[in-house]
Amino acid sequence: MKPPDQPEKGIFKDASGRELTYLRVSLTERCNMKCVYCQTGNAPNDTRPQDLSDSELLELIGAFSILGVDKIRFTGGEPLLRRGIVDLVRNTRTIDNVTLVGLTTNGLLLDKLLDPLVQAGLNRLNVSLDTLNPERFKRITGVDCFPRVLKSIKDAVESGVFARVKINTVVMRGFNDDEVHRFSEWGIQTGLDIRFIEFMPTRHSAWSEKLFVGEKELRENISLPLEPDPSTRHNDGPAKTFLVPGQPGRVSFISAVTSSFCDSCNRLRVTSSGEIVGCLFGVSRFDCRPYLGGKLDTGEIAGIIASHISRAGFRRTPSERSITDDRPSMRGIGG
């Protein structure tokens, strides 16, 4: 296939005209926690496809950068279980057009890897944390490491590297819904961005309406004078972000169940085995692995990717809802 003309940054679009500038890359399906809403744990999975190698990942990211993607986020599973994660971050930062390299982690291994990752060029960080109660943390995650995760968050804030460390909190009735005010106060006072995520109906999550808490109820329970953050008014992400005037932190809501983000979605996802996923709750996928490993040059890979993703139907239309009847595996897609 003839390589595409080298496009200017940010002009790669899907069939609906939405610019695609953000790629979420799952590095592994493995995890060192067993959270109640995910249930991935350490259980062996003999049918799990082999993860892309570092060189294949960098080929793929390089192809996306040609197409205008400038933000990469590494996810999982737990991405810090990936051997060579520091080198992968460092090499990603050297790719033309890539200016933002982020990581979403449960924080369990962050204490030893934070400094090397920062030195490698990591400049965005999300930590998943669903409770501020040590005993509840153990019940939700299956591990007894709350102090270690909390210290890593504190160290990340004090490093001064990240514009804001973001805390991803999935709220479930009867598990942690009584902590939303405490979480909010903690974030507002310490400069964090607490991101309350509506519990989504994914595979193995045991989702039910009884466990679900929507954004409207969450905002009522926070009981703080929140005002929209004007600096995020034109962001393409799904989060609705608020602040308390005069305080350093923020509170955000990611409400995929009660709202929809398809009209402005700027992101694609890649599984750890090399499948491009058009939508989180969608069935369209394209396997890139056959084209990687030095078989084609980066421009040719970019052309193949563009030809698939720009096809009508690969991504859902702007008028559709974010949540569908499909049930994605979060460990496979990476959220």
Q: What is the pLDDT of residues 9-54, one digit of tens each?
A: 447 899 999 999 999 999 999 999 988 777 644 444 546 679 999 9
Question: pTM (2 decimals)?
Answer: 0.91
Specify the amino acid at residue 217: E
Q: Which residues pair with 196 in a beta bridge?
A: 169, 253
Q: How far apart are CA 54 and CA 27, in angstroms?
A: 9
Report yes or no: 195 and 166 within 8 Å, Cβ to Cβ: yes
pLDDT greater than 80 at residue 271: yes
Q: Of the ranges 42-46, 255-259, 290-294, which is most confident?
A: 290-294
Q: How far apart are CA 76 and CA 48, in angstroms?
A: 13
Which pLDDT does position 35 carry in this prediction?
A: 81
Specify the amino acid at residue 232: T
Spell out the domain ranges in the chain: 22-333
Domain 22-333's class?
alpha beta
Q: What are phi and psi of 137, to 5 degrees?
A: -55, -45
Angle of the 146-159 helix axis to the 110-120 helix axis, nearest 10:
20
Mean pLDDT of the chain: 88
Which pLDDT does position 10 carry in this prediction?
A: 47
Q: Report pLDDT digits (tens) over 52-84.
A: 999 999 999 999 999 999 999 999 999 999 999
Nearest one of 298, 276, 307, 308 to 289, comparing CA atoms: 276
